[in-house]
């Protein structure tokens, strides 16, 4: 029997074990108090199921194909390596003829440019493939109803069920305002409300993270692909300039535009994540019509209040609510395991923030070396340096040296980041702290909570 089916059977039995006595004997105050206990269990079961659902959504929404890291890194490494070869070739051509630039042949220069074109095509192919992969995944998720939009609809439906049960429970609790257990009933109602809000707040975090991460990746790919398109146009105009000088300016201009996109791609996509996350959270607030604020501290305060209420009651009084002790233990376990999950997630979060910051700094610096090359190229073809072959060659050499440094840095950093990522994930795997491992632990905790509630609902044998 599947766990999901077992939970449904348990939820039905919670209702039936009180429904049949009421039909046969008529509803009594004792029956209604026991019904409060049963509905409370049902609400907690549904809140646990709500968390289980959005954690599954997180696993699915943030899942990265096994080969993606290596695949994308391979395209970046190959592009950087070929780009470095092109820059070195230009340095060789200009450097070896620094005193006799008239010896530089068009054929050798064309070959160096063609190597640069191959570098751009490799980068563009890698980026295009990842964009297509993301689009295919998004379409597949929509068709299989595993998209962020489908998750929102499902969570709204589940929250409505929880709120309907809470309203039913509140109506029953209102009948026992003079009961010795009135304080317990009301305080536990607050706990249930806080855990419901806590789940909603975390779902909002999960939803906005998935949406913003997907969007920021696509922003980066789009900007990088635009830069590649400009660079390709620049190279092609450069080839044409060997037969017609008027293409020189077009080559320089498109190159500079490409540099601009290259400079902003990493910072815009990285910072864009936070802007997009804020945007998607704002839209989610309107759909739920709730604040979606973190209620963890409120939940812990309500749990403390519930423990004080229980401590102030006689054991014989607590027998009227037989599973409250199990639920109190479940609340404490739920909260403690969540805190542990956050603590264990911090190392990966710090690593990701460090990598993002490095990309924001190094990306623009590397692209700036190419911008420097294009600016020097633009100066060299100005009227001031017309027919001054040696000065033009010197500027070409200076620009190529800078671009070589940029290409070398790109190659080295890409290789280092790939190595660092593999090392980081290996370390986390050994500590059982990979994101997917941490989520698996949380899923196991939810199964434990379910088991606690199912066992608490079983009728006690008469001694």
Res 460 pLDDT > 60:
no
302 is a domain residue = no
353 is a domain residue = no
| Residue-level pLDDT at 156 | 95
Range from 344-358, 419-433, 443-457 that averages highest in pLDDT: 419-433
Q: Half-sphere exposure (CA, 13 Å, Cβ side) for 210?
A: 26
400 is a domain residue = yes
| Residue-level pLDDT at 456 | 54
| Residue-level pLDDT at 457 | 54
| Residue-level pLDDT at 50 | 95
Percent of the chain predicted with pLDDT > 90: 33
Nearest to 313 by CA among 301, 300, 298, 325: 325
| Residue-level pLDDT at 143 | 86
Higher pLDDT, 180 or 190: 190
Percent of the chain predicted with pLDDT > 70: 89
326 is a domain residue = no
Q: Return the exposure string of 363-373: e unless at least 16 CB atoms fall within 10 Å of the residue's CB, then b.
A: bbebbebbbbb
335 is a domain residue = no
| Residue-level pLDDT at 30 | 57
| Residue-level pLDDT at 395 | 85
Res 57 pLDDT > 80:
yes
Return d(Cα 19, Cα 22) in angstroms, integer: 5
Reported as a single tens digit per residue, the pLDDT across 91-136 is 998 888 888 877 888 888 889 999 999 999 999 999 999 888 888 8
Mean pLDDT of 344-362: 81
Higher pLDDT, 1 or 280: 280
Return d(Cα 229, Cα 247) in angstroms, integer: 17
Q: How many separate domains does the chain show?
A: 1
Q: Half-sphere exposure (CA, 13 Å, Cβ side) for 160?
A: 8
Rg (CA), the chain: 32
451 is a domain residue = yes
pLDDT band at 11 (very low <50, low <70, confident <90, very high): very low
User: Residue 238 sits in which domain range?
Assistant: 3-296+360-457
Please state, in angstroms and as integers, the Cα–Cα distance from residue 393 to each residue in 94, 375, 381, following that order: 6, 14, 11
pLDDT band at 26 (very low <50, low <70, confident <90, very high): very low
Reported as a single tens digit per residue, the pLDDT across 303-339 is 999 989 888 877 777 666 667 878 888 899 899 988 8
322 is a domain residue = no
CB under 8 A, 24+ apart: contacts of 136-142: 138/214, 141/60, 141/61
Res 1 pLDDT > 50:
no
Q: Output the DSSP codes for 66-119.
A: TTHHHHHHHHHHHHHHHHHHHHHHHHHHHHHTSS-GGG--HHHHHHHHHHHHHH
| Residue-level pLDDT at 322 | 64
Higher pLDDT, 360 or 222: 222
Res 377 pLDDT > 60:
yes
Nearest to 184 by CA among 173, 197, 175, 195: 173
pLDDT band at 405 (very low <50, low <70, confident <90, very high): very high
Mean pLDDT of 37-57: 92
What is the average pLDDT value for the chain, to the nearest integer? 84
Return d(Cα 8, Cα 13) in angstroms, integer: 9
Please state, in angstroms and as integers, the Cα–Cα distance from residue 214 to each residue in 23, 137, 219, following that order: 54, 11, 9
| Residue-level pLDDT at 461 | 38
Mean pLDDT of 176-204: 89
| Residue-level pLDDT at 4 | 47
In degrees and rounded to multiples of 5, residue 246 shows phi and psi of: -65, -15
pLDDT band at 246 (very low <50, low <70, confident <90, very high): confident
372 is a domain residue = yes
């Amino acid at each position: 029997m599947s766990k999901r089916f077992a939970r449904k059977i348990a939820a039905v039995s919670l209702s039936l074990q009180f429904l049949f006595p009421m039909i046969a004997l008529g509803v009594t105050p004792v029956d209604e108090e026991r019904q409060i206990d049963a509905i409370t269990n049902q609400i907690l079961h549904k809140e646990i199921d709500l968390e289980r659902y959005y954690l599954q959504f997180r696993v699915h929404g943030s899942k990265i194909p096994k080969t993606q890291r290596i695949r994308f890194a391979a395209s970046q490494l190959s592009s950087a390596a070929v780009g470095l070869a092109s820059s070195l070739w230009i340095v060789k051509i200009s450097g070896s003829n620094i005193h006799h630039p008239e010896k530089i042949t068009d054929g050798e220069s064309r070959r160096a440019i063609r190597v640069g074109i191959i570098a751009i095509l490799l980068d563009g192919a890698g980026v295009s493939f990842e964009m297509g992969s993301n689009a295919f995944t998004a379409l597949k998720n929509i068709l299989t109803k595993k998209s962020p939009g489908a998750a929102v609809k499902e969570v709204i439906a589940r929250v409505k069920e929880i709120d309907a049960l809470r309203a039913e429970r509140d109506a029953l609790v209102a009948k026992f305002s003079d009961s010795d257990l009135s304080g317990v009933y009301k305080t536990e109602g607050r706990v249930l409300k806080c855990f419901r809000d806590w789940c909603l707040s975390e779902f909002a975090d999960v939803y906005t993270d998935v949406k913003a991460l997907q969007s920021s990746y696509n922003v980066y790919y789009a900007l990088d692909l635009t830069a590649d398109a400009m660079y390709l146009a620049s190279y092609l105009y450069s080839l044409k300039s060997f037969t017609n000088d008027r293409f020189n300016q077009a080559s320089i201009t498109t190159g500079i535009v490409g540099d601009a996109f290259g400079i902003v791609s990493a910072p815009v996509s990285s910072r864009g994540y936070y802007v997009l996350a804020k945007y998607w959270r704002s839209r989610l607030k309107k759909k739920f019509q709730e604040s979606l604020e973190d209620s963890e501290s409120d939940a812990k305060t309500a749990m403390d209040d519930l423990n004080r209420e229980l401590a102030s009651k006689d054991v014989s009084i607590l027998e009227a609510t037989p599973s409250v002790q199990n639920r109190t233990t479940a609340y404490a376990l739920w909260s403690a395991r969540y805190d542990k999950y956050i603590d264990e997630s911090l190392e990966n979060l710090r690593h990701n923030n460090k990598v993002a910051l490095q990309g924001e700094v190094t990306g623009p610096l590397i692209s700036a070396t190419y911008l420097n090359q294009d600016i020097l190229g633009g100066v060299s073809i100005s009227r001031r340096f017309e027919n001054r072959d040696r000065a033009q060659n010197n500027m070409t050499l200076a620009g190529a040296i800078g671009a070589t440094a940029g290409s070398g840095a790109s190659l080295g950093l890409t290789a280092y980041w790939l190595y660092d990522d593999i090392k980081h994930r290996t370390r986390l795997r050994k500590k059982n702290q990979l994101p997917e491992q941490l989520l698996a632990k949380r899923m196991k905790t939810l199964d434990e909570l379910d088991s606690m509630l199912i066992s608490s609902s079983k009728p006690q044998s008469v001694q």
